[in-house]
Structure 1
Amino acid sequence: MLQLHPNASAHYEKQIVIPDYQCDIHGEMKLSGVLKQIQRISNQHFEEMGFSYRDLWEAQIVILLARMALRCHRSPRNEERVKMKTNPQMSKGAQLLRRIEFWSQEGELLVEAQSSWLMVNPITRKILRPSAFPFEIPTDSSNYDSSLDEMKTKRPKDLAAAAQGVKVVQYSDLDCNRHLNNTVYADMVCDLLPYEEMEEKRWREFAIYYRKEAVIGDTISLELFRQGEGRYFIQGQKGETSCFEASILLGEPKEIV
Structure 2
Amino acid sequence: MKNPYTYCFTTEVPYYQCDLSGKMKLSWLLKVMERAAGEHLEHLGLPYDRLYQEGIVFLLSKAGVRIHRCPTAADLLWVETSPQSVRGAQYNREIRVYAEENGGPGELLAEIHTVWFMADPVERKILRPEKFTHPLPTIPPEEAMEPFGAARFRVTGEECGEQAFTVRYSHLDVNGHLNNTVYGDLVCDVLPFEELVNRGIREFRIVFRHEARYGEELGLQLFHDREEDCWYVTGHRADGPCFEAQVVLNDTEQSEDSVR
Name the TM-score, length of structure 2 as normaliser: 0.91
Alignment RMSD (CA, Å): 1.8
Matched, 1:201 2:199: yes
Partner residue, 1:3:
none
Aligned equivalent of 1:101, options 96, 100, 103: 96
Aligned amino acid, residue 144 of structure 2: Y
**1:149 deviation in Å?**
3.6
Matched, 1:84 2:79: yes
For 1:68 and 1:147, the matched residues in 2 are separated by 10
Partner SS, residue 36 of structure 2: helix
Partner SS, residue 50 of structure 2: helix
Matched, 1:174 2:172: yes
For 2:143 and 2:221, the matched residues in 1 are separated by 34
**1:165 deviation in Å?**
1.2
8 Å CA contact 1:152–1:207 kept in 2: the answer is no
* Structure 1 consecutive aligned stretches of length 4 or more whose deviation exceeds 2 Å: 141-147, 149-153, 254-257
Aligned residues: 249
Aligned amino acid, residue 93 of structure 1: G
Mapping for residues 1-257 of structure 1, pairs under 5 Å: 9-106=4-101, 107-140=106-139, 141-146=141-146, 148-149=148-149, 151-156=151-156, 159-228=157-226, 230-251=229-250, 252-253=254-255, 254-255=257-258
For 2:192 and 2:23, the matched residues in 1 are separated by 18
8 Å CA contact 1:154–1:233 kept in 2: the answer is no
For 2:142 and 2:56, the matched residues in 1 are separated by 27
Superposed CA offset, 1:54-77 (max 9, x none): 111111111111100010000111
**1:230 deviation in Å?**
4.2
Superposed CA offset, 1:110-134 (max 9, x none): 0001100111110111111122112
**1:222 deviation in Å?**
0.6
**1:86 deviation in Å?**
0.3
Partner SS, residue 258 of structure 2: coil
For 1:204 and 1:166, the matched residues in 2 are separated by 26
8 Å CA contact 1:153–1:233 kept in 2: the answer is no
Aligned amino acid, residue 57 of structure 1: Y
Partner SS, residue 194 of structure 2: helix
Partner SS, residue 92 of structure 1: coil
Aligned amino acid, residue 145 of structure 1: M
Identity across aligned pairs (percent)?
Answer: 37
Aligned amino acid, residue 41 of structure 2: F
For 1:217 and 1:59, the matched residues in 2 are separated by 29
**1:231 deviation in Å?**
1.4
**1:104 deviation in Å?**
0.9
Partner SS, residue 71 of structure 2: coil
Aligned amino acid, residue 243 of structure 2: F
Partner SS, residue 105 of structure 1: strand
Aligned amino acid, residue 242 of structure 2: C
